[in-house]
Amino acid sequence: MNSLDLSAASWRKSSHSGDTGGDCLEVAALAHIVAMRDSKDLDGPVLGLSRAAFATLVGEIRSGAHSL
C-alpha cells in the first residue's frame, strides 16, 4: 500500500459544516488527488481519490444518487 504525502495538504470543511462537532468531512486538493478525512479523527485514515473520481462522486451526491 502506498502512503499519501500530505505535508502540503490544506484541509477545509464544507461551508455547510458548523462548529457543533457533528459529522464533518474535510478535503484537501493536492497535485493529482483529492484527499478526504474525518474531521473528528485528524490522525486517522485518509482516502485519496483522483480528481475525476471525486468530481463524479460530488456530482452523484448532488443529483441524489446516494442517500445521505
Cell numbers 488527488 label which residue?
33
In a domain, 36, yes or no: yes
Q: Is the pLDDT of residue 52 over 80?
A: yes
Counted domains in the chain:
1
In a domain, 9, yes or no: no
Q: Is the pLDDT of residue 65 over 70?
A: yes
Q: Is the model's pTM score more than 0.85?
A: no
In a domain, 55, yes or no: yes
| Least confident segment among 29-33, 57-61, 64-68 | 64-68
In a domain, 41, yes or no: yes
Higher pLDDT, 37 or 18: 37
Q: Within 10 A of 35 (CB to CB), how many other CB atoms are there?
A: 19
In a domain, 56, yes or no: yes
Q: Report CA 14 to chain centroid distance, whole Å.
A: 9
Note down the domain range covering 55: 23-62
